[in-house]
Homo-oligomer: A and B are copies of this chain.
Amino acid sequence: MISATPPPRGFPVAEYEARLTRCQARMAEAGLSALLLTTEPEVRYFSGFLTQFWQSPTRPWFLVVPASGKPVAVIPEIGGPVMARTWVEDIRTWPAPDPRDDGIGLLAATLKEIAGSGDIGLPMGPESHLRLPLAAFDALRKDLPGNAIRDASPLIVSLRQVKSPAEIAKIGHICAVASAAFAQAPSLFASGQPLIEAFRSFKRTLLAAGADDVPYLVGGAGPDGYVDVISPPTDVPLRDGDILMLDTGGMFDGYFCDFDRNWAIGRASEKAKAAHRTLHAATDAALAIAKPGTRCRELFATMHRVIAEAGGVSEAGSVGRYGHGLGMQLTEWPSHAAWDETVLEPGMVLTLEPSMTYASALEGAGRLMVHEENLVVTEDSPVLLTTRAAPELPVIG
């Protein structure tokens, strides 16, 4: 069990040293002389640089990982003092924003110094993106005619999808905080309450329970079930007979939880109750096999089978998968999908997130139900980071 006591903030330098050592070993295998990183989680993973300033899209930020030695930061001047408090020592800044040259000249010179004429790795694969203007990136490529720039996504994925004990403690803590907030549902949600107020109440509760932030809260509600799980809330009031679902990505010290809970307001139909039991059984079946050696496609197939055998209509088509990795991002590799051959390893933090539709006796389309838990893979059985939902759909309000 994960305690609700907050783990220490930040990481000891040894954590960053271990990340760097593993990274540089893989860079050597891949023949990379430098790694260029541009997104918030990539820069933070190797430096510890944590700030909400990334919300501003104005300025690009860069971290260069050399083949040996510590990472080099190439960042806007405004970030210099904060970066100086991390373990990074070589910090090169420019007065940003400067649309004439927003750090590209400085970055090109740094890459030439570090990589020589060697190959440069850059994450280019699934779930990555380049956080700088495309025109600036094209200028960088022109400044580095002698360097091949190659995809470093497999390298980054192999590092980041296995979490350290200190990372797991942070994710576990925010899962415990959100579990405590979800446990207060009977006093937070009631018939007559506009859905937008239910969202607001839950966000405030999650903050009070110890979340640093609530970057993600989606959900749905409707008579005998909901049909949409990604819209912002409306001011339509909850009614007796509604099913309410909230799915939250709370954050502690830069790490996410990502799970949901369902409740019936006042009363629940047999069909809704059965759907909840089916999804609970699907996660049970996945938990039973979520061990080293199992492939993500097997987790998918196992959950799919439970839903099909119960006569449910799987929603894997539209959702695309039944769960994923999580950590510094709300969703990370791997995916529990028919195409994902990733083999589970100890330290992977994963969601199990089966979904299905069921027919309602009321009018309208089929209702959707989603259910989600977070776990960490160990040498033996997985450890749940969330307080397990009850098999029976809880009735509140």
Contact = CB atoms under 8 A, between A and B. Distances in A.
A232 B50 contact: yes
Contacts of A125: 99, 133, 135
Nearest to A94: B320
Given A98-B339, A324-B58, A331-B57, A129 B133 contact: yes
B319 A53 contact: no
Interface string A87-122: 000000001111110100000000000000000001
A210 to B, nearest CB: 9
Interface string A125-164: 1111111111100100000000000010100000000000
Interface string A46-66: 000011110111110000000
A2 interface: no
Contacts of A5: none
A203 B213 CA distance: 9
Contacts of A124: 133-135, 138
Nearest to A135: B124
Interface stretch (A19-27, A77-85, A272-280): A77-85
A1 interface: no
Interface in A214-230: 214-218, 227-228, 230
A208 B204 contact: yes
B230 A79 contact: yes
A337 B100 CA distance: 13
Contacts of A57: 127-129, 329-331
Which of A99, A335, A339 has its CB near the most chain B CB atoms (within 10 A)? A99
A76 interface: yes
Given A82-B231, A129-B57, A129-B130, A218 B51 contact: yes
A23 B329 CA distance: 34
A121 to B, nearest CB: 12
Which of A52, A215, A231, A324 has its CB near the most chain B CB atoms (within 10 A)? A52
Given A203-B207, A204-B207, A339-B98, A230 B53 contact: yes
Contacts of A291: none
A382 interface: no
A97 B331 CA distance: 12
Given A228-B82, A318-B80, A126 B151 contact: no
Interface in A194-249: 196, 200, 203-204, 207-208, 212-218, 227-228, 230-232, 234, 249
Contacts of A52: 215-218, 230, 232
A204 B55 CA distance: 20
Given A50-B232, A124-B135, 18 more contacts: A52-B217, A52-B218, A55-B249, A57-B127, A58-B127, A78-B319, A82-B230, A85-B231, A96-B320, A97-B335, A98-B320, A98-B339, A125-B133, A126-B133, A129-B130, A129-B133, A135-B153, A207-B207
25 contacts: A51-B218, A51-B231, A51-B232, A52-B217, A52-B218, A53-B230, A55-B215, A57-B127, A58-B324, A58-B335, A76-B320, A77-B318, A78-B320, A80-B318, A95-B317, A96-B320, A102-B126, A125-B135, A129-B131, A129-B132, A129-B134, A203-B207, A203-B213, A204-B208, A215-B215
